[in-house]
Amino acid sequence: MGIDLRIITFRDIFQYEAGKKSRFSPEFQNLSAQIIMDKDDMVQLGLKDGQNVCLENEMSKIVVKAIQTDDEPHPGLAFMTNSPWSNQLVKDNINDRIIPDFKAILVQASASNESVTNLAELLERLRH
């Protein structure tokens, strides 16, 4: 059973610095392949901090780590760094707009036993 989430992407200096060293490094993946979620949403999915979550929409399906936030409650709203992982979920049909909508990515989230989607797989998807 899953829940609907709206993802807001953001930039992160730590992820940026890790990516400058190597986009294939474990550090870059750890900082990029995660979603920051409301604790009630995580409870609803049966997730504990650091467990994997599947995010799926009409564009793609990815698995990332769920990170629980202690911020003010924001059910149904989650945050991801702007990265190859979050970009997989962005609609490619931007109509008359020049910039894709990175601030309102709609997904279905569910607990997952799958491994985090690795960068090599994401890049392979782009080739097809």
Give residue limits of the domains in the chain.
3-127
d(CA 63, CA 61): 7
| H or E segment and range at residue 66 | strand 61-68
3-state helix, strand, coil in the chain (%, to 5): 30, 30, 45
Contact at 8 Å (CB) between 106 and 2?
A: no
**Other Cβ atoms closer than 10 A to 104:** 11
The per-residue pLDDT string of the chain (128 residues; one tens digit each, 9 = 90 and over) reads: 799 999 999 888 878 788 888 888 888 888 989 999 999 999 999 999 999 999 999 989 999 999 999 889 899 999 999 898 998 998 766 566 555 566 789 999 999 999 999 988 988 887 76
In this prediction, residue 101 carries a pLDDT of: 64
* Listed residue (29, 42, 11) closest to 53, CA to CA: 42
d(CA 128, CA 54): 22
- pTM given for the model: 0.88
CATH T-level fold of 3-127? Barwin-like endoglucanases (2.40.40)
In this prediction, residue 91 carries a pLDDT of: 77
In this prediction, residue 10 carries a pLDDT of: 87
In this prediction, residue 95 carries a pLDDT of: 61
* Assigned token pair, 48: 């504990």
Cα Rg of the chain (Å, integer): 14
